A and B are shown apart, each in its own frame.
Chain A
Amino acid sequence: MRKKFGEFLYRHKQLEGILYVLPFASLWAAFLAWPVGYGIYISLFDWNPMRGSKFVGLANYVQLFHEARFWNAVGNTFEFAGITIPLILGFGFIFALMVWGWGRTRHGATAVQAILFSPYLLTVSIVAIVWKWLLDRDFGLVQHTLGSLIPSAPVFLTSTAWALPAIAFGTAWWLAGYRMVVLQAGLEEIPQELFEAARIDGARQLQQFSHIILPLIKPSLLFALVLTVISAFRTFGQVLLMTDGGPGTSTEVLALYMYRIGFDYFQVGKAAAAGVILLVMILLLTLLGVKLLGLKSELQ
């Protein structure tokens, strides 16, 4: 029996691969693919299981496109992403270079790495509560210190101009450590011989950075970029807890807007449509990142 099964697998080699991925694929299909598919399906309905859902085609999408609040949420999402992605990747890259460079010449790099990575171990609610406290108008450490240095300093979380950047900064503090680890792994992969050869050829540090580090770290950078784009566009918890979308709707990002219409107003079909739009946005931006970084060959 066992022999026959072995022969069967030998004849159908591709089946072996399928069997390897089957356990994960089943979980992925049940808990990810199916909910996403069902989300797309109910986005076409005025979803109300108690009274009977009604097929409305693309009406939920049309309704969203006509809502100023939806576009405000889209705008806030892009603004948040525009601030937080460079901050996360920038800090992550600087930290990675520091730890990588330090590790080659001095002791203690692991301890520094652990400290820089540690915020990532916190949950989003703790991060949000900590930053909300730091920026509290009356008792916040950051707000108080800044206020004593600059009397006209903004009150971050009640300012329509500063609330979103403040949340973006808190998010960067939280996530930069993990990007540091990803990028550091990329740096470690670069053969030392290249740097030695470059030094012999008289290349300066900046030239080594632009001609060796940047090109060879692209795959790690792409991975970090994709992760960061996804997390930036899906941002929800820190906004909910730090400002609840306010002042007004100045920090109401798309995920929070979707949550409100889905769980507060229970317009589930419309919320699903917003979710599909968010999914498409993230997908397109990820593909754009791949194209801009010119990584087709690496991915293949």
Chain B
Amino acid sequence: MRKHWKLGIIIVSLVLLVGLQALAAAPIKITFNTLFHEADAQAMEQIINDFNSTHTDVQVELTQGGWTDYYAQLRLSVIAGNPPQIGICHANKLVEMSDYLTPLDASPVGNIIDMAKLTPDNYVAANWKAGELNGHHYLVPLDTHGWGIWYNKDIFKKAGLDPENPPKTLEEFINACDKIKAAGYYAFHPGEDAAPRKLRRAWYVFFWQMGGQLFDADYTHATFNNPKGLLALQFLVDIFNDFGWDKPGSNGYDQFAAGKLGMLIAGNWYYGTAQGSGVNWAYMEMPSFFGTPYTWGNSHQIVIPVQPKGTSKDVYLAAAEVIKYISEHSHTWTMYGGHITAYKPEAQNPELLASDYWTKSGKWLNQMAQDGLVHFPINNPKGSELEQAIQAQIELAVNGNISAQEALNKAEEDCNKILQGQ
């Protein structure tokens, strides 16, 4: 009987030992939740799969989905005490989201930037700087993404235009649009699928090119209801009305893919659709419509949401290791996701530079980013509310329900009320 007891104790001890060893050897699990949902989602999945297959100590569980509810989900996950260890934040959302993000230079376990040996100099300076707020650094840049012009080379030829020399000035642009229209095609769509936010971005582009500022530096009041703002909006309205280059409510994505549209302003994410459409297309930088040829753009940045109290240093460091890996393999992000990597060494990756994506469109967007022509949206705690107020009126003006001046008057009034907390 005594022998059996001894044997029992030995077996239990061995089982415990093996169990503890297994626990000790178990990889740290990192949850990474993104807002990617098209080609970029597949690109991120590829990077994370590569990470998981080359690391045994850290494993990443990737969840991806739509962006419309993403920030609400991220906030609520932090409040509920169950956040992902890694998330994504647009550069202009930092002010709205900072309460929910870990300051990387002052996290509960110390300066993660130093501990993970993240080198700021390796990132595009403007994108790195976008991650700073109130003396702390919250974001690690992933990319720059933005708008350019996709044009149909066959339509250009039929309209008597040179597809190798697309228009660069307003005069050339108007001439090209008139010729395309005369050839029986829709000439120009300035905002992807004409969703209200896309029309607002188109107006931003024209307004920014004139040197316009949407709000004063302290965000006390709107500063867009002036001759520049009006000219920019009237131009946008005329594209769909007086100029007859397209029609209000038209979906530029579909028109271009169907070979009915000469020129389309759209983001780099349109590459896959353009390639698959069978249209003989090319891409050009944003022309100088009204001065400095700014385009609309933004930057995806990687974040560590605020973690529950007691989260171990190992988890923070594992998250930082994943972030660093993504940066160092972000040529994949650009080649397959279409967004221009913000990690400078990766922008020189030979495989990327030789890729179809880069030679046909990516290099032009990269050039605009390098030249500082990708203009980020407003960065304010009430940014979403302000932009909603603006786009509602712009849409009405484009649809011909109100005049451009009425739209600016109402948008200004609404924005000022929001800023003054009324």
Contacts and interface: CB of A to CB of B under 8 A. Distances in A.
B401 A138 contact: no
A167 to B, nearest CB: 15
Interface string B69-95: 101100100110000000000000000
Contacts of A231: none
B196 interface: yes
Interface string A252-265: 00000000101111
Given A158-B248, A248-B392, A49 B255 contact: no
B392 A265 contact: no
B199 to A, nearest CB: 10
Interface stretch (B135-143, B314-322, B382-390): B382-390
B72 A266 contact: yes
A26 B195 CA distance: 44
B38 interface: no
A240 to B, nearest CB: 9
B384 A264 contact: yes
B395 A246 contact: yes
B127 interface: no
Interface string B365-388: 000000000000000001011001
Interface residues of B, number: 32
B392 A246 contact: yes
Contacts of A155: 247-249
Contacts of A49: 79
B396 interface: yes
A133 to B, nearest CB: 10
A244 B195 contact: yes
Contacts of A262: 72
A247 B401 contact: yes
B196 A265 contact: no
B99 A265 contact: no
Contacts of A246: 196, 392, 395
A262 to B, nearest CB: 8
A54 to B, nearest CB: 14
Interface string A261-285: 0111110000000000000000000
Nearest to A51: B99
A79 interface: no
A264 B195 CA distance: 17
Contacts of B288: none
A264 B251 CA distance: 24
Given A50-B78, A158-B399, A247-B401, A138 B250 contact: yes
Contacts of A264: 72, 384-385, 388
Interface string A131-159: 00000111100000000000000010111
A160 interface: yes
A208 interface: no
B78 A158 contact: no
Given A50-B78, A263-B72, A265-B382, A157 B99 contact: no
A98 to B, nearest CB: 36
Contact of A50 (B100, B255, B395, B401): B100
Nearest to B249: A158
B254 interface: yes
Contact of A249 (B249, B255, B392): B392
B327 interface: no
Interface string B94-112: 0010011000000000000
Given A264-B384, A265-B382, A248 B396 contact: yes
Contact of A137 (B195, B247, B422): B247
Interface in A98-116: none
Contacts of B399: 158-160, 247
B99 A50 contact: yes
A157 B249 contact: yes
B100 A265 contact: no
Interface string B234-258: 0000000000000111110011001
A260 B388 contact: yes
Given A137-B251, A138-B251, A248 B385 contact: no
B419 to A, nearest CB: 13
Nearest to A50: B99
A265 B384 contact: yes
Contacts of B258: 139
Contacts of B401: 160, 247-248
Nearest 8 Cβ contacts at the A-B interface: A158-B249, A263-B72, A248-B396, A50-B99, A137-B249, A248-B392, A264-B384, A49-B79
Given A48-B99, A138-B250, A245-B392, 10 more contacts: A50-B79, A136-B254, A138-B251, A155-B247, A244-B195, A244-B196, A246-B395, A247-B399, A264-B384, A265-B382
Interface of A: 48-51, 66, 136-139, 155, 157-160, 244-249, 260, 262-266
16 contacts: A50-B79, A50-B100, A66-B422, A137-B247, A137-B249, A138-B250, A138-B254, A155-B249, A157-B249, A160-B401, A248-B392, A248-B401, A249-B392, A264-B388, A265-B385, A266-B96
